[in-house]
């Protein structure tokens, strides 16, 4: 008798975990926030391809991943899915910094304070 492995998808909570967001996810979120309205994959793609070569399907996949991470909502009612950020860029930044302080720096804010003090 063979054992079958079952993949269990776990739900992510609203706080960004240690995995955070990648560079491309951050770039896409920046584009989404810049629209200040709900957007389609096509709108994000058209904006991003002006700056670099990127596939439409890559944008679509990453936006779906951002939906799974609860950073975007996805409205499937129209032909083109409509995406909207769930939080402001300031809140996402706070969550990321909080994760770094709590987990990586084990509660010490000194290294970050030093970094920001040197930043102009």
Residue 92 placed within a domain:
yes
Same domain for 42 and 77, yes or no, is yes
**Predicted confidence (pLDDT) per residue in 33-85, tens digit:** 999 899 999 999 999 999 999 999 999 999 999 999 999 999 988 788 999 99
Task: State how many domains the chain has.
Answer: 2
pTM: predicted TM-score of the whole model, two decimal places? 0.77
- Cα–Cα distance list, 18 to 9, 47, 99, 103 (Å): 17, 29, 6, 7
Task: Point out which residues pair with 85 in neighbouring strands.
Answer: 72
CATH at residue 75: 1.10.10.10
Residue 14 placed within a domain:
no
Within 8 A by CB and 6+ apart from 68, the residues are 12
């Amino acid at each position: 008798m063979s054992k079958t492995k079952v993949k269990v998808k776990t739900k992510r909570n609203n706080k960004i975990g240690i995995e955070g967001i990648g560079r491309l996810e951050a770039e896409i979120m920046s584009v989404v926030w810049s629209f200040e309205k709900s957007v389609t994959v096509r709108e994000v793609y058209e904006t991003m391809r002006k700056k670099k070569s990127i596939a439409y399907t890559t944008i679509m996949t990453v936006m779906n991943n951002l939906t799974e991470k609860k950073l975007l909502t996805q409205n499937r009612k129209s032909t083109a899915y409509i995406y909207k950020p769930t939080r402001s860029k300031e809140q996402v930044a706070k969550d990321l910094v909080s994760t770094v302080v709590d987990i990586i720096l084990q509660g010490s804010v000194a290294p970050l304070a030093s970094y920001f003090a040197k930043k102009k």
